Structure 1
Amino acid sequence: MAGKQPEYDYDLFVIGAGSGGVRASRVAAAHGARVAVAEEYRVGGTCVIRGCVPKKMLVYGAHFAEDLEDAKNFGWTIEKPSFDWQVLRDNVLKDVDRLNGAYTDTLENHGVEIIHERAVLTGPHEIALGDGKRTVTARHILIASGARPHVPDCHGHELGITSNEAFHLDAIPPRILIAGGGYIANEFAGIFNEFGSKVTIINRGDQLLRGYDRSLSDRLLQISIAKGIDFRFNAEFRGIEQKGDCLTVSMTGHEDIEVDCVLFATGRVPNTEGLGLDTAGVELGEKGEIVVDRFSKTNVDHIYAVGDVTNRVQLTPVAIREGQAFADTVFGGGNPVAVDHTVIPSAVFSHPPLAAVGMTEGEARNKLGNVKVYQSDFRPMKNVLAGRNERSLYKMIVDADTDRIVGIGMIGPDSPEIMQAAAVAVKAGLTKADFDATVAIHPTMAEEMVLLK
C-alpha cells in the first residue's frame, strides 16, 4: 500500500460471512485494514448455520439409537427408550444461534463492520447495498458467498427439500427418499434411518462416494443395506406428484415409489448469480464458479474469491485456509501465501463414518504404477461384545519404489478422529516403515494403522 492511493470507504469489502469470509475479515482487520462484511442471512455460513455443525449434532443424536441397543450386552437395562425429534431439533438450532452470536462477536471485537444486507458489485470498486440506495467503495473486494444445494430440474421439484430445510422439519418422515450418492446423501440416510425413517437412496450413477476408494464405498453400501436402507442405482428423476399427504416419485429404470419426503442431495452450486460479477468483469467457469489463481485472485487484480464459490475444494477447513492466506497475502506485508490443495483429508459422517487422505488405490496405480496395498478388515471390540456383525476396513496405499505412504482410507467407528493424525503423517511424507516402527496403543482401533500387513 505504499505511495499515493485513491481513497475508499474500506480497505476490504467481503461479500459473505461464512467460514472463509469471517476468517479473511478477522485476519485482515488484525493486520490493520478497514473491513466490512456483508451478509444477507446469518453470520457463520453454511457450515455453522445449516451444514456440518448442526449435521454432526444430528449424527451424535442418531448414534444413541444403536448405543442404547448395544448397551444391553454391556449390562445396562434401559426401560422403553423413546426419541423426541423436536427436542433434538430445537436444541441443535439453539446451539446454532449461540454460534451465530459467537461469530458475530468475533468480527465486532476485531473492528469489522457487519452489514446485514445483500451486496452487489456496481463497478470495479463500488458495491451497492440492500435496495441499492446506498453504495460504498473498497480498495479490495473478496467474494465468499459460498454455494447452495442443487435441485434437479424435474416436474414437481418444488415438493422436495434440501439439506437446508432438513434441520427444520416438524417431524421425522416415516418414509424418505434421498437423491444423491455423495457425502450429504449418505450422512442424512444414516441419520434418518436411525431415527426410524424408511430410507431409500436413488443415485443416477452406479456407485456411492465416487471420490473415495471403491472398497470403502462398497463396504458402506453393504453395511447400509444391512441396516435397512434401500438403494436404487442408475435412476434419474422423472417427476414428483403430490397425492394426498404422500409424494409419488417416478424415475428411470425403476418402479414408482411412494414416500412422505424427498430430500435432494445432488451436489452444490456456487452462489455467483446476481452479485454484479459481470459488471466488474470477473471471469466465471463452466459451472458458474469464480475462476481464481493459486492466491485466490480473479482476473480482476483487486477482486478475490475463496471457499465454495470457487468450486476448488468444497470443505470448510479449506475455505478457512484460503481466507487466512488471502488476508496475509494482501494485508500482511510479507510474502504471498498460497494454500496447498493437495493431500487434503476428508470424512463422511455416515453410519459408520468413513475418512480418507491422499490417493485411492486406483489413483495411485494410474499415477505411480508400482504400489503396495496394506489393509486390515476387522470387527471392532465393542461390536463383538454388542453382538453387532459390522466390520471395519482400514487401507494404506504405498509407493512401492520409495515406501512413502500416498493414501490412507478407513471406514469404522471414529474413523475421522483417527484420520486427522494419520493425515499429518501422509502430508509429511512418512513411510510404511515409520508406521511399522511406531508402538501400538492397545487395545484401540487406531492401533491397526501401525500393524497393517
Structure 2
Amino acid sequence: MAPIQKECDYLVIGGGSGGIASARRAAKHGAKVIAIESARLGGTCVNVGCVPKKVTWNAAAIAENFKDAKAYGFGGFEEPTFDWPYFKKKRDAYVKRLNGIYANNLGRDKIDTLHGRASFVSKNEVEVKLDDGTKQTIRAKNILIATGGRPTIPDIPGKELCIDSDGFFDLEEQPKRIATSGAGYIGVEMSGMLHALGTKVDFFIRGDKLLRSFDPLIQDTVTKEYERQGVNLHKGAQITKVEKLDDGSKKVYYKEGDKESSIDVDVVLFAVGRVPEIEDLHLDKLGIKLNEKKHIVVDDYQSTNVENVFALGDVCDRGFELTPVAIAAGRRLSERLFAGKKDAHLDYSNIPSVVFAHPEIGSIGLTEPQAREKYGNSVKIYKTEFTAMYYAMMEPEDKGPTAYKIICEGVNERVVGLHILGVGSSEILQGFGVAIKMGATKADFDNCVAIHPVSAEELVTMT
C-alpha cells in the first residue's frame, strides 16, 4: 500500500454535477476537500447527457420549424441542409469550454483535484491510481461516492458493432438510416432528434408503448405521435443479432412478435438502461450494501450502511437519475456535514422532470395508476387534449398534439400529479412544479388568471 500522502475533511469520488456541487459547497463552509475524476469534469450531464443532448434537440427543433414555416407563408427555400460535422465541432467546443469552467471553479474554491481511478482501502482511506501510473493514498473524515453510471448494450452477437447513448455524441457523420432500441426517455429523445434531422429511424421497443414508466396519457399520446411523424416503430420487437456488411453498414436481425426479419442500417444504437460505475471501488471491502441492480443503498440523508461514507446521483438507489437531483442532494449533504444543518437532506417527492421528445413532455408527482393505488376513490382526474395555436395555420395532417392531465386527491383536491405533452412543456412545468411542491390545490390553479393565448392557460381553466 502506498504511504498516506494526503488528508482531508471530505473526499469526493466523481467529478460529475452532483459530486462537484457537494465538493464546492463543503469548501465554502471551510472544509478541506479533495475531488477525484477519471474522465472529463462535469460527468454524464455535461459530456454525454443533458448539455449536448439539449443542443442537439435545439437543432432538431429548428429543423421542425423550417418544415412548419411554409404553412405561415415563408418561402424562398426548398429543403434546408444540415451540416452535422460543423454542428458536432461547435457542440464539442461548447462542452470543452464547460469542462474548463468546472476546473476553474474547483481551483477557485481551493479544491485539490486528482485525475485517476479510486478504490477503497478502508472506510477512511482511498487509493488513487493516477494517469501516470503512480498511486496516492488519501485519508478522509468523510467520503462521498458520486461516480454515476454508464450505458449498457445487450449481450447479443455483434454487440461490438453497436453504439450506446454515449457513443451517439461521437458520431462524426449523420447516419442516413439508424436502428434504435429502448423505450425509455433516452431512446425516445435520440430517436426523435435523429428523425427530425432527417435520419430514417427504425425504433425497436419490447412493449407496445413508449415511456412505460410515465402516465398512460403520456404513453399513448407520444407513441401515436411518433408513428404519425413517420418514425418506423417496431412494437413487441427485439434486436437479436447485428452483422457488418462489406460497405460498412450493419445488418440488423430482429424478432417482432413471432416474425423474424432484418434491415440494413448505418448505425445501431442501444439506449436500454444504465448501470452504476462501481467496479473499481472495491466496495466489498467495506461491506457497503447494494440493491439487486448493484446501486448503492442510501437513506434519506445519502448515508450508506458504513459510517461516514455517502452516495448520491446515478450510483445510488433513489431512482431519480437527474442532474438537478444530484446537485440538490450534494449541496444539502454538505450543509449537514459542514454547516451544522443537522436535518438538511433532499425531499425526493414531487421532483419535476422533462423528456425532450417531439413534442416535449413534462411530469411531476404521481401517475394516475400510482395515485389510485395510494389514495383510492379520493382521486379526481382533470384532463384535456387540444391543438395548440402554433398549429393554427397548418393542414390537419401536420398538426401535433397537446395533452394535459391534473391528478388531485381528497376533498380539497390537492394536486399530486401533473403530466403535460406539447409545445413548450419544459418551460411550463418549472413554474407549476413550484406550485405543486408548495401543496397547491385545484382551486389554487383555478384562482390564477389565465394568460391568453397560450397552451398553459388550459391548466388554470380546466373543468
Q: TM-score range by the shorter chain?
A: over 0.9
Aligned to 2:358: 351
Question: Which of 28, 31, 38 is 2:29 aligned to?
Answer: 31
Aligned to 1:384: 392
Q: How far apart in 2 are the matches of 1:400 and 1:332?
A: 39
Check the 8 A contact 2:289/2:296 in 1, yes or no: yes
Q: Which AA in structure 1 matches 2:86? A: V
Q: Does 1:322 align with 2:320?
A: no
Q: 1:7 Cα shift?
A: 11
Q: How far apart in 2 are the matches of 1:154 and 1:132?
A: 37
Q: How does 1:68-217 map to 2 (within 5 A)?
A: 68-80=66-78, 81-130=80-129, 131=133, 133-217=135-219
Q: Which AA in structure 2 matches 1:44? A: G
Q: How far apart in 1 are the matches of 2:289 and 2:218?
A: 38
Aligned residues: 448
Cα distance change on mapping 1:287 and 1:75 into 2, 3 Å: same
Q: 1:73 Cα shift?
A: 2.7
Aligned to 2:268: 262
What 5-or-longer segments of structure 2 have no aligned partner? Answer: none
Greater mean alpha carbon deviation, residues 276-285 or residues 192-201: 276-285
Q: 1:134 Cα shift?
A: 2.1
Q: Does 1:279 align with 2:269?
A: no
Q: How far apart in 2 are the matches of 1:330 and 1:400?
A: 38
Greater mean alpha carbon deviation, residues 176-185 or residues 330-339: 330-339
Cα distance change on mapping 1:19 and 1:78 into 2, 3 Å: farther
Q: 1:178 Cα shift?
A: 0.8
Q: Does 1:332 align with 2:339?
A: yes
Q: 1:359 Cα shift?
A: 1.1
Cα distance change on mapping 1:181 and 1:166 into 2, 3 Å: same
Q: How far apart in 1 are the matches of 2:411 and 2:153?
A: 46
Question: Which of 14, 37, 40 is 2:38 aligned to?
Answer: 40
Question: Which of 229, 235, 245 is 1:227 aligned to?
Answer: 229
Q: 1:166 Cα shift?
A: 0.8
Aligned to 2:408: 398
Q: 1:79 Cα shift?
A: 2.1
Q: How far apart in 2 are the matches of 1:222 and 1:237?
A: 22
Q: How far apart in 1 are the matches of 2:57 and 2:280?
A: 35
Q: How far apart in 2 are the matches of 1:224 and 1:232?
A: 11
Q: 1:15 Cα shift?
A: 0.7
Q: Which AA in structure 2 matches 1:448? A: E
Cα distance change on mapping 1:35 and 1:242 into 2, 3 Å: same
Q: 1:400 Cα shift?
A: 4.6
Q: Which AA in structure 2 matches 1:374? A: Y
Q: How does 1:426-441 map to 2 (within 5 A)?
A: 426-441=436-451
Check the 8 A contact 1:172/1:197 in 2, yes or no: yes
Q: How far apart in 1 are the matches of 2:52 and 2:96?
A: 11
Cα distance change on mapping 1:419 and 1:138 into 2, 3 Å: same
Root mean square deviation, CA, Å: 1.6
Q: Which AA in structure 2 matches 1:426? A: I
Q: Does 1:407 align with 2:409?
A: no
SS of match in other structure, 1:356: strand
Q: After superposition, what is the alpha-carbon deviation per residue over 1:353-377, rounded to whole angstroms, capped at 9, x for unaligned?
A: 1111111112112221222211221
Check the 8 A contact 1:182/1:208 in 2, yes or no: yes
Q: Which AA in structure 2 matches 1:19? A: S
Cα distance change on mapping 1:439 and 1:48 into 2, 3 Å: same
Q: Does 1:422 align with 2:428?
A: no
Check the 8 A contact 2:144/2:310 in 1, yes or no: yes
Under a length normalisation based on structure 2, what TM-score does the superposition of the two structures give?
0.94
Q: After superposition, what is the alpha-carbon deviation per residue over 1:218-242, rounded to whole angstroms, capped at 9, x for unaligned?
A: 1111111111101122223322111
Check the 8 A contact 1:270/1:311 in 2, yes or no: no
Q: After superposition, what is the alpha-carbon deviation per residue over 1:150-169, rounded to whole angstroms, capped at 9, x for unaligned?
A: 21111111111011111121
Q: How far apart in 2 are the matches of 1:274 and 1:64?
A: 42
Question: Which of 55, 63, 72 is 2:53 aligned to?
Answer: 55
Q: 1:334 Cα shift?
A: 2.6
Q: How far apart in 2 are the matches of 1:156 and 1:75?
A: 48
Check the 8 A contact 1:189/1:201 in 2, yes or no: yes
Q: After superposition, what is the alpha-carbon deviation per residue over 1:408-447, rounded to whole angstroms, capped at 9, x for unaligned?
A: 1111011011011111121111111111111101111111
Question: Which of 250, 254, 259 is 1:251 aligned to?
Answer: 254
What 5-or-longer segments of structure 1 have no aligned partner? Answer: 1-5
Check the 8 A contact 2:5/2:136 in 1, yes or no: no
SS of match in other structure, 1:386: coil
Q: How far apart in 2 are the matches of 1:413 and 1:164?
A: 27
Q: Which AA in structure 2 matches 1:233? A: K
Q: Which AA in structure 2 matches 1:321? A: A
Q: How far apart in 1 are the matches of 2:181 and 2:71?
A: 36
Check the 8 A contact 1:151/1:266 in 2, yes or no: yes
Aligned to 2:348: 341
Check the 8 A contact 1:119/1:127 in 2, yes or no: yes
Q: Which AA in structure 2 matches 1:271? A: E
Aligned to 1:3: none
Check the 8 A contact 2:12/2:145 in 1, yes or no: yes
Check the 8 A contact 2:241/2:254 in 1, yes or no: yes
Q: After superposition, what is the alpha-carbon deviation per residue over 1:334-356, rounded to whole angstroms, capped at 9, x for unaligned?
A: 32312111111111100101111
SS of match in other structure, 1:121: strand
Q: How far apart in 2 are the matches of 1:222 and 1:105?
A: 46
Q: How far apart in 2 are the matches of 1:25 and 1:397?
A: 38
Q: 1:8 Cα shift?
A: 6.7
